[in-house]
Amino acid sequence: MLGMKIDCPCCGGEIDARHTEGLSTTLRRMYFVCEDCGYRTPAGFEILHSLSASSRSRAGVSLEVKPSLMLRGPVNARTTLARENRP
Ligand SMILES: [Zn+2]
In this predicted model, what pLDDT tens digit does every residue of 25-42 receive, in sequence order?
A: 999 999 999 999 999 999
**Is the pTM of the predicted complex or chain greater than 0.85?**
no
For residue 87, the CA-to-ligand 1 centroid distance in Å is 28
Q: What phi and psi, each to the nearest 5 degrees, are found at residue 14?
A: -100, 130
pLDDT of residue 44: 95
Question: Which residues keep their CB under 5 angstroms from ion ligand 1?
Answer: 8, 10-11, 13, 34, 36-37, 39
For residue 54, the CA-to-ligand 1 centroid distance in Å is 38
Concatenated DSSP letters for 6-75? EE-TTTS-EEEEEEEEE-SSSEEEEEEEETTT--EEEEEEE---BSS--SS--TT----B---SS--S--
pLDDT of 42-72, one tens digit each? Answer: 999 999 999 988 898 888 888 999 887 766 6
pLDDT of 5-23, one tens digit each? Answer: 999 999 999 999 999 999 9
- The answer to whether 13 touches 35, Cβ cutoff 8 Å, is yes
For residue 22, the CA-to-ligand 1 centroid distance in Å is 25
Name the DSSP class of 87: -
